[in-house]
Structure 1
């Protein structure tokens, strides 16, 4: 029998090596964030702030209300992403509560980052409603998939068409940018095909059994998300007064959105402005462009955050008044409905 003092050394496992991608991401994302901030700061002293405020003052109430309506419709449509998760997981929460949780989380996500809004806020509110971690993880995963699959569909069409003209100093050439758009379209199509071919199959992921949605539900995901991105582009197009074609406005917004995601800055502060200034400064007077960006940030980010705070209070009070019947049991509030 081996010496007991030697056993810990015999059974000890070497520390797990950190994957190369995680090591690259640990340094690449902060560097990218610093680069974007540096780009913004380098242009800050050149920005026509007086012209931006004048542009804000010239907006008519009708234009601002129209843009606010489009922004509100976008947030309301985003709330439907969690209804897709509700249908897929067959949990028993009322539709209005699932929708309200998604809308609240989205408002916090935009202003405080995805870890706070997209994940932590959803996890808390769904846990208060009685859902288990596995169900919540599937809902969050489907919501993220819905958002970015629709993004890939819309961005793929816009980028592949070549309507967005990249600056000369941009590292990615026009042909490579169009190829990226085609790749995005192919990924969206591949997802729908995978859902059609692998319907009913289950996988074990970190101890949780997951499955792909049906092809029909995948098409609903693409449709809702594509419509949502189109609404965001419409709000910006309205604020720009039609000075830039809608397809170009949407394309720049899509480019700014993905840069904002990979840049570790809360609310992507400054990223949206930097990308628009880089891509549209030659098409729109700088003061008018900055005025539209400030109005968009107020209407799409700050105003919904106020609504999100109200909804959060309502959801917390509702959860306190009606605790789940099995607070310490399994996550489903009701047995799965027959499919």
Structure 2
């Protein structure tokens, strides 16, 4: 083969690597800027803090943000922080289980360890929850990580779809339970959304309908339905073992995430876990539909409407701590993970180049 033909692909590969490094650099810088802006927005709900932020520079703003967050955190007992932290950890472990379940469904689990899946999932959801377009941003991270393990782009797309469906399945299941046993939660939203003034029996009927849908999905797996074709795509119905894992993983993730808020709400006026869970499912789902990063603004409105036994400042403080543990801290931790992964990939590329030479 002529020397010019062997050098051309090598130059293209170097250009692609350079462009990707630039994209990663911009992505990391954008994530840091996003984190800073989200913290500003969170603490600016207090008028005095907002005035300090409006009149200060960047270093002054960092100090004001740190002071405001510290005051919120110190008002919560240490025991509550401990339980909230454990809830956040359980939620992210369950999210990693989403990926592992999807890999099992695709029969591509071999050669991909639990730690690798957990780290990939952690970065995926840390970015997706904060950026808003979770499927797109999560798909990019998974594409980069799982293609490095030999998966095809179509398999990664199927994995993303499976993880999204697992979350949807868990949300519908828990929402059905909440609507049946706590229909008043929906009625609490009537001031926010007038159309929510519905009869209790209708709300409970909607809950029963959601539970029937989830039951039909499980029965379909038990009956081992054959794959069906949509266009050129073959869709394989999950095996009963996969569905059983979804029945555990999805509720565990959602209930753990809601537990963060439950544990940091004031104990004296806490409405109870079931009410917090219902408010979380409704507000988080509304935030996902709105594509607002982290459900910013949407969650506050829904929680303040439903949890009226807690002073508004207590609700806002609980949601701030939830965002710190579930959104912002994972985002901050994911940035060095991305840099380490890209450095390892660059090292492998250099070794391949040396072997070719």
Query: Same fold judged by TM-score > 0.5?
Result: yes
Contact 1:273-1:290 at 8 Å conserved across structures:
yes
2:87 is aligned with 1:70: yes
Q: Secondary structure of the equivalent of 1:209?
A: strand
Residue of 94, 98, 110 corresponding to 1:81: 98
Q: Partners of 1:163 and 1:180 in 2: how far apart?
A: 10
2:306 is aligned with 1:279: yes
2:280 is aligned with 1:253: yes
Q: Secondary structure of the equivalent of 1:171?
A: helix
Match of residue 21 from structure 1: none
Greater Cα offset, 162-171 or 185-194: 162-171
Q: Partners of 1:304 and 1:48 in 2: how far apart?
A: 25
Q: Secondary structure of the equivalent of 2:82?
A: helix
2:253 is aligned with 1:236: no
2:128 is aligned with 1:109: yes
Q: Would you tell me which structure has more helix in proportion to its own residues?
A: 2
**Structure 1 residue 276, shift from structure 2 partner:** 0.6
1:137-167 deviation per Cα after TM superposition (whole angstroms, max 9, x unaligned): 2211211111111111111111111254323
Match of residue 112 from structure 2: 94
Contact 1:244-1:283 at 8 Å conserved across structures:
yes
Q: Secondary structure of the equivalent of 2:234?
A: strand
Q: Partners of 1:149 and 1:235 in 2: how far apart?
A: 21
TM-score calculated relative to the size of structure 2: 0.71
Q: Secondary structure of the equivalent of 1:129?
A: coil
The change in CA–CA distance for 1:307 and 1:56 in structure 2 (over 3 A counts) is closer
Match of residue 297 from structure 1: 323
Contact 2:112-2:149 at 8 Å conserved across structures:
no
2:294 is aligned with 1:270: no
Q: Secondary structure of the equivalent of 2:284?
A: helix
Match of residue 160 from structure 1: 180
- Structure 1 unaligned residues grouped into runs of 5+: 1-44, 324-339
**Structure 1 residue 309, shift from structure 2 partner:** 2.1
Contact 1:164-1:251 at 8 Å conserved across structures:
no
The change in CA–CA distance for 1:269 and 1:206 in structure 2 (over 3 A counts) is farther
Q: Secondary structure of the equivalent of 1:204?
A: strand
Residue of 164, 186, 195 corresponding to 1:171: 195
Matches within 5 A, 1:16-165: 56-91=73-108, 92-95=110-113, 96-113=115-132, 114-162=134-182, 164-165=184-185
1:162-187 deviation per Cα after TM superposition (whole angstroms, max 9, x unaligned): 25432344413133322222122111
Q: Partners of 2:150 and 2:111 in 1: how far apart?
A: 9
Match of residue 24 from structure 1: none
Q: Provide the aligned C-alpha RMSD in A.
A: 2.7
Contact 1:77-1:224 at 8 Å conserved across structures:
yes
**Structure 1 residue 260, shift from structure 2 partner:** 0.7
1:181-218 deviation per Cα after TM superposition (whole angstroms, max 9, x unaligned): 2122111111111122234x223334333301111210
Q: Secondary structure of the equivalent of 2:310?
A: coil
Q: Partners of 1:318 and 1:141 in 2: how far apart?
A: 28
The change in CA–CA distance for 1:133 and 1:203 in structure 2 (over 3 A counts) is farther
Contact 2:258-2:280 at 8 Å conserved across structures:
yes
Q: Partners of 1:187 and 1:319 in 2: how far apart?
A: 44
Higher relative contact order (CA 8 A, sep 6+): 1
Contact 2:300-2:319 at 8 Å conserved across structures:
yes
Residue of 202, 208, 228 corresponding to 1:203: 228
- Structure 2 unaligned residues grouped into runs of 5+: 1-43, 50-67, 350-357
Contact 1:163-1:248 at 8 Å conserved across structures:
no
Q: Partners of 1:275 and 1:163 in 2: how far apart?
A: 15
